[in-house]
Structures are given as structure tokens and as C-alpha cells.
Amino acid sequence: MKILKILGIVIAFVILLAFAGGLYINSALPDTGAAAVVKIEPTPARLARGRYLANHVAACMDCHGTRNWALFSGPPLSGSLGKGGEVFDQNMGFPGKIYAANITPHALGNWTDGEILKAITTGVNKDGKALFPLMGYQRFGKMDKEDIYSIITYIRSLNPIQNEVPNTELDFPVSLINKMSPKPADFQKIPAMQDTVKYGAYLVNAAGCVDCHSKMDKGAIIAGTEFGGGMEFKQPAGTIRSSNITMHKTNGLGNWTKEMFVQKFKLYADSTTKLPTLAKTDLNTPMPWTMYAGMTSNDLAAIYTYLKSLKPLDNKVEVRTIL
């Protein structure tokens, strides 16, 4: 009887502790500090750099625009840049319904530059709410602050689009855990272009290659699968999986030359290339080829060099499964 009483006290204590912890997380987090007091001067150089990064490297418009899935690789529809509304849900393996925000001046017009900077690089919005890390703030917080200033300058220049986007709804307990994800930014200077491995690593981080070219569980990368491909994208016609982009000789890019790698992307920047039209019953790649095709050949070559420095993963990916 005494043992049962002690056990009851222990269980009650654990429940009380869990409740207190949950209450703390729910009320005190996220906490990444106050938004910086900063006014970004919108110079032509920043605008050009921001346009390049947002459209072709970080590919912000991959999520924050409307993609035309009637064409191969879903290029962004004209006039949709920044409007948001793209949804990532349980059908894609995510823990809830995550909506890409409207980032045009219509939605961010009353945000300060510091508030936008905080959202992009720490994952906490103007209202103090934690963003789901599908939005790559953990990556962007490791970029050069000047590059983020350039992206903000470009975002400020977008045409205002009135598009009310639903709030993200996360499943429990991810809704609680997500509040612990935001962290203060740890800005890094852009490496010298001559140091192609480090410079390529900077670009790969900005582009978020690992986010798709790895296996995931409930929106989190499974350790040890980085760049080895296998992430599933379910579609009405079946499932498509991301490729292994390590330099494994048989199951990756080990037989690709740097020139082949660069040309694969640049094919979609060629004005004579006509993208195939696809029906809803066809499988389509989520890889935004037309966006990344806008990267310079030097930047693409640096990415190849960095990927070549990684350990090859022996992961054979069945890219397509048709229903």
C-alpha cells in the first residue's frame, strides 16, 4: 500500500512537471530577442543581388509564389511572386498544414526591416509566433547578413498582392515542439569565390539542397541521409522521390563531370527550351529547375565542387513509382 502511495506521488509529480514544462514552452517560447532596429537602404546593388538570391539561389518564390504544375517542374506563374498560399500537409509527410506566407508589401507593409530580418533568420514573426522550419530560417540565419538585407530589399520591391493566407496548423505535439525551434541567427561572411568548396557550401546552404535531397520523418531530416535523396513527394499519379546527389558512382552523381552538372541546369535557362506540358495524371518533378537555372555557371560549378567533397552515400533511389 505504501509503495502504491509513493508511486502515485511520483506519477503526480511527473505529470505536474510535464504540465509546468508545457506551460513554460507555450508561454515563454519562442525567444530569440527583440527585432533589430535597422533601416535597410534599398540600393540598386542590393536590389539586383536580392532578386538573384530570392529567385535563383534561395528560391523563395518556389514556395511564396504560385507554380504552374501544367508545365514540367512547375515554373512560377507570372504575377504571383510573393503571394504565398502554397500548402504543405500530411499528404506530403508534414505534421499538419503549413502555409507559405504572403511576403509582398500588401502583407509586410507594416513590418519593420528588423522584423522581416528576424522572421527570415530566426523563425519568429512580427506577432512572436514560431515559424515551422520548412521555411529555411535555420539556413538563412547562417548566411551573410548583407545577403539577407538584399533579399529584404527585393521583397520590398515586389508588387503588392492581396491574398489572405490561412494560418499554419500543426499537429500536437509538434505544435509545442515547434516553439523550441527558433534560435538567434549566427551570420557568416560569404567565403571567397576562389575557395570553391567553402563557397559552394555557402550556396548549398542558401539553396536548401539538403532539405529535399534527404529522407525525412515528420518534417525533420533523418540523420545520415543528407544529400542521399529519397524524400517522397506524393502526387495523384504516384510518388516521385528526390535523387541521390552525392558522388556515389552507381547510385549518385559520381559519373557526372562539372560541365555536365552545370549544363543540366542551364538547359532550362535556354530560351529555346520548351517545357513539356503535363496533365494532372502525369508525375511532375518538384525540383524548380527553371528557378535554379538562373544561377551563374560559376555558382553552379561551386555547388558541384562542394557536393564532390561530401562522403558518397550508397542509396539507390527509385525516383518514380506510378500508380
Q: What share of the chain is helix, strand, coil (3-state, %, to 5)?
A: 40, 10, 50
| pLDDT value of position 65 | 96
Give dist(CA 247, CA 277) in Å, integer: 31
| pLDDT value of position 10 | 44
Pair 141, 39 in one domain: yes
Question: 271 lies in a domain?
Answer: yes
The segments of the chain whose pLDDT lies below 50 read 10, 12-28
Encode burial over 233-257: b for 16+ CB neighbours within 10 A, e otherwise. bebebeebbbbbbbbbeebbbeebe
| pLDDT value of position 217 | 83
pLDDT digits (tens, 9 = 90+) for 142-196: 999 999 999 999 999 999 999 999 999 999 999 999 999 999 999 999 999 999 9
CA atoms within 13 Å, Cβ hemisphere of 252: 23
Domain that holds residue 226: 191-323
Pair 156, 252 in one domain: no
Of the residues 149, 167, 187, which one is the last residue of a structural domain? 187
Pair 174, 254 in one domain: no
| pLDDT value of position 143 | 99
Pair 195, 133 in one domain: no
| pLDDT value of position 218 | 72
Question: 284 lies in a domain?
Answer: yes
| pLDDT value of position 13 | 42
Question: 316 lies in a domain?
Answer: yes
Question: 10 lies in a domain?
Answer: no
| pLDDT value of position 104 | 98
Question: 255 lies in a domain?
Answer: yes
Joined grid coordinates for residue 231: 524524400
Pair 56, 182 in one domain: yes
Question: 19 lies in a domain?
Answer: no
| pLDDT value of position 28 | 45
| pLDDT value of position 196 | 98
Report the number of distinct structural domains present in the chain. Answer: 2
Give dist(CA 245, CA 204) in Å, integer: 12
Of the residues 166, 187, 208, which one is the last residue of a structural domain? 187
| pLDDT value of position 23 | 42
Phi/psi zone of residue 203: left (φ > 0), alpha (ψ -120 to 50 degrees), beta? alpha
- Respond yes or no on whether the N-terminal peptide bond of residue 105 is cis (omega within 30° of 0): no
| pLDDT value of position 25 | 46
Question: 29 lies in a domain?
Answer: no
E strand residue ranges, the chain:
87-88, 96-99, 169-170, 216-217, 220-221, 232-235, 238-241, 320-322
| pLDDT value of position 4 | 52
Helix (H, G, I), strand (E, B) or coil at 265: helix
Pair 251, 148 in one domain: no
Of the residues 187, 202, 226, which one is the last residue of a structural domain? 187
